[in-house]
Chain A
Amino acid sequence: MAETREISAARRRWMLLAPALAILVFAASGPLLIVIMYSFLTPGDYGGVIWSFSTDAWFNVVAERDFFDETLSFSDAHWSIFWRSVKLSLMTTAVAFLVGFPTAYFIATRPKATRDIWMLLIIIPFWTNLLIRTFAVMEIIRNEGVVNSVMIGLGIIDEPIQLLFTEFAITLGMFYVYLPLMVLPIYASMERLDFSLVEAAYDLYASRWRVLKRVIFPLVKPGVIAGSILVFVPSLGAYVTPRVLGGGKQLMLGNLIELQFGQGRNWPLGAALSITLLAIVMIALMVYVRSAGREEVSHG
Chain B
Amino acid sequence: MIEIQNLTKTFGTGAEAFTALSEVSVTIRQNEFFTLLGPSGCGKTTLLRTIAGFVDPTSGTMTLDGADVLASPPYVRPVNTVFQNYALFPHMTVAENIGFGLEMQDRPKAEIKQTVGEMLELVQMTPLANRATSEISGGQQQRVALARALAPRPKVLLLDEPLSALDFKLRKEMQIELKRLQSETGITFVFVTHDQEEALTMSDRIAVMNEGQILQIGGPKEIYDHPAERFVADFIGETNFLEAELVSVDGEVAETRLPSGKTISTRAASGRAGAGKVTVAVRPEHALLEPPGALIDGKLENIVYFGTDTHYHVMLDGGARFVVRRQNQPDAVEAYTIGDAVGVSFNPGVGQVLRD
Contact = CB atoms under 8 A, between A and B. Distances in A.
A2 B8 CA distance: 12
B15 interface: no
Interface string B50-64: 000000111000000
Nearest to A2: B56
Contacts of A1: 56, 70-71
A77 B105 CA distance: 74
B28 to A, nearest CB: 21
7 contacts: A1-B56, A1-B70, A1-B71, A2-B56, A2-B57, A2-B58, A5-B56
Nearest to A3: B56
Main secondary structure of the interface of A (DSSP, over half): helix
What interface size band does chain B fall in?
under 10
Interface string B110-130: 000000000000000000000
Contacts of A5: 56
Nearest to A6: B56
Interface of A: 1-2, 5
A77 to B, nearest CB: 57
Which are the 6 A-B pairs with shortest beta-carbon distances?
A: A2-B56, A1-B71, A5-B56, A1-B70, A2-B58, A1-B56
A2 B57 CA distance: 7
Contacts of B71: 1
Nearest to A5: B56
B44 to A, nearest CB: 21
Nearest to A4: B71
Q: Find the residue from B56, B57, B58 having the highest chain A CB count within 10 A.
A: B56
Interface in B159-205: none
A1 B58 CA distance: 9
Nearest to B72: A1
Interface in B25-84: 56-58, 70-71
A262 to B, nearest CB: 54
B232 to A, nearest CB: 31
Contacts of B56: 1-2, 5
A5 B70 CA distance: 11
B149 to A, nearest CB: 24
B48 to A, nearest CB: 18
Contacts of B58: 2
A218 to B, nearest CB: 33
A102 to B, nearest CB: 41
A1 B53 CA distance: 12
B64 to A, nearest CB: 15
A1 B56 CA distance: 8
Nearest to A1: B71
A5 B71 CA distance: 9
A5 B56 CA distance: 9
Contacts of A2: 56-58
Interface in B226-261: none
A8 to B, nearest CB: 10
B45 to A, nearest CB: 18
A128 B71 CA distance: 53
B61 to A, nearest CB: 11
Contacts of B57: 2
A1 B57 CA distance: 9
Interface string B76-118: 0000000000000000000000000000000000000000000
Contacts of B70: 1
A4 to B, nearest CB: 9
A5 B57 CA distance: 11
B56 to A, nearest CB: 4
A10 to B, nearest CB: 14
Nearest to B9: A2
Nearest to B58: A2
B55 to A, nearest CB: 10
B8 to A, nearest CB: 11
B67 to A, nearest CB: 15
